[in-house]
């Protein structure tokens, strides 16, 4: 990318170890590397220079924000861009998240110390037996990395259909397919959300479905699709533990099917999902917190059996 576009943050753009760049205003710039946030010692010379970069970015990405549409997002040359403009904020808030598309596998996870070999063998069996699973954890805990490694561990002629809001996953083989949602802030084109994509993907002859991030009523369409087959399906979800993950899933399924009672929602989840894989991060890095099988459903909720827990 040209230095003339990015100005003071160009070195951060060019540094592949920088995973996220945060610009709060022309004087306050931060970046993430190896899961840790640092202040950038440089700054834009003035708000005019920062605004000039944003205007050029609007041209390059075709993002368009104004007082009526103060929120914009785009994918641009290996980054996911999110911008919120005044009057919602005091100064333009810009976040660039690098989409690496690294070909992760279990060997790389083991070398990084993410989990011991015994835990990775459990993940291998989940993939081999085509069991349905969710990878959960907080922001930046490596959920997409783990999901990519599990996709890459599948047999070469297994057809995945990968559905995402932002392209972060790579196709694990040549027979698989990938689709992205569409949102037009100018309302010139109809929105195509994950729910639409899940329903359309069922006609693409998927062996397994993969939703990059489950975060809304599309959870209903995903689970109903899983009850009709498509073994070995997966996705990620923001949660800190298996209990919280399924509570959030219950809420999202209920958004998509408000006529369903809680008992029915829970029965569909139990029949559709087998595993919850929990990612975590701390000052020392990212690691596997635990791997849990869903074994039952009681009045108080789901019960789990830990196949692996970090000591």
Q: Is 125 strand, coil or helix?
A: helix
Q: Which alpha helices (H) appear in the chain, and where do they start and end?
A: 3-6, 10-14, 47-61, 106-111, 117-128, 143-152, 194-201, 218-226, 242-256, 262-272
Do 129 and 22 reside in the same domain of the chain?
no
Q: What is the DSSP letter of 192?
A: B
Could you tell me the CATH number of the domain that includes residue 247? 3.40.50.300
Q: Which domain covers residue 16, as residue numbers?
A: 3-98
Does the structure show a pLDDT above 90 at 36?
Answer: no
Phi/psi of residue 195, nearest 5 degrees: -60, -45
Do 11 and 80 reside in the same domain of the chain?
yes
Do 271 and 183 reside in the same domain of the chain?
yes
Residue 102 pLDDT grade (very low, low, confident, very high; cuts 50, 70, 90): low
Do 131 and 276 reside in the same domain of the chain?
yes
Alpha-carbon distance of 70 to 150, in angstroms, equals 38
Do 190 and 122 reside in the same domain of the chain?
yes
pLDDT value for 188: 75
Do 276 and 169 reside in the same domain of the chain?
yes
Do 81 and 115 reside in the same domain of the chain?
no
What are the Cα distances from residue 293, in Å, to 91, 131, 145?
Answer: 46, 10, 21
Contact of 295 with 304, CB cutoff 8 Å? yes
Closest CA relative to residue 42, chosen from 34, 33, 54, 50 = 50
Percent of the chain with pLDDT over 70: 97
Do 189 and 144 reside in the same domain of the chain?
yes
pLDDT value for 143: 95
Do 114 and 94 reside in the same domain of the chain?
no
From 49, 67, 98, the end of a domain falls on 98
Average pLDDT, the chain: 92
Residues 166-212: tens digit of each pLDDT: 888 999 999 999 999 987 766 678 889 999 999 999 999 999 999 99
Exposed/middle/buried for residue 12 (C-beta within 10 Å: 0-12, 13-18, 19+): buried
Do 127 and 275 reside in the same domain of the chain?
yes
From 98, 121, 144, the end of a domain falls on 98
From 80, 98, 116, the end of a domain falls on 98
What are the percentages of helix, strand and coil residues in the chain, rounded to 5? 30, 30, 40
pLDDT value for 80: 86
pLDDT value for 150: 97
pTM metric for this prediction: 0.83
Could you tell me the CATH number of the domain that includes residue 46? 3.30.450.90
Do 297 and 153 reside in the same domain of the chain?
yes
Alpha-carbon distance of 246 to 300, in angstroms, equals 12
Radius of gyration for the alpha carbons in the chain, expressed in angstroms and rounded: 21
- Residues 203, 270, 274, 238: is their CA dihedral positive or negative? positive
In the block, tokens 């996705």 appear at 235
Residues 261-292: tens digit of each pLDDT: 999 999 999 999 999 999 999 888 899 999 99
Residue 259 pLDDT grade (very low, low, confident, very high; cuts 50, 70, 90): very high
Phi/psi of residue 69, nearest 5 degrees: -125, 80
Do 257 and 112 reside in the same domain of the chain?
yes
């Amino acid at each position: 990318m040209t230095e003339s576009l990015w100005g003071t943050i160009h070195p951060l753009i060019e540094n592949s170890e920088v995973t996220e760049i945060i610009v709060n205003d022309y004087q306050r710039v931060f970046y993430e590397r190896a899961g840790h946030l640092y202040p950038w010692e440089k700054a834009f010379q003035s708000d005019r220079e920062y605004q000039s970069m944003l205007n050029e970015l609007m041209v390059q990405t075709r993002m368009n924000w104004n007082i009526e549409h103060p929120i914009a997002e785009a994918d641009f040359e290996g980054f996911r861009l999110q911008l919120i403009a005044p009057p919602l904020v005091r100064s333009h808030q810009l976040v660039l998240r690098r989409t690496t598309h690294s070909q992760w596998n279990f060997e790389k996870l083991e070398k990084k110390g993410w989990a011991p070999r015994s835990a990775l063998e459990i993940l291998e069996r989940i993939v081999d037996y085509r069991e349905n699973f969710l990878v959960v954890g907080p922001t930046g805990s490596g959920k997409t990395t783990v999901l990519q490694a599990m996709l890459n561990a599948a047999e070469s002629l297994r057809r995945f259909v990968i559905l995402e809001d932002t392209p972060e996953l790579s196709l694990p083989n040549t027979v698989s397919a990938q689709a992205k949602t569409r949102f037009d802030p100018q309302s010139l084109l109809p929105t195509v959300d994950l729910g639409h994509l899940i329903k359309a993907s069922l006609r693409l002859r998927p062996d397994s479905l993969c939703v990059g991030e489950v975060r809304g009523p599309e959870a209903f369409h995903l689970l109903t699709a899983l009850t009709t087959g498509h073994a070995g399906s997966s996705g990620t979800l923001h949660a800190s533990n298996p209990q919280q993950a399924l509570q959030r899933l219950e809420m999202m399924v209920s958004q998509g099917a408000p006529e369903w009672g809680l008992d029915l929602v829970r029965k569909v989840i139990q029949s559709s999902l087998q595993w919850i894989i929990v990612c975590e991060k701390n000052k020392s890095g990212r690691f596997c917190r635990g791997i849990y099988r869903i074994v039952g459903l009681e009045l108080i909720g789901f019960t789990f059996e830990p196949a692996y827990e970090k000591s």
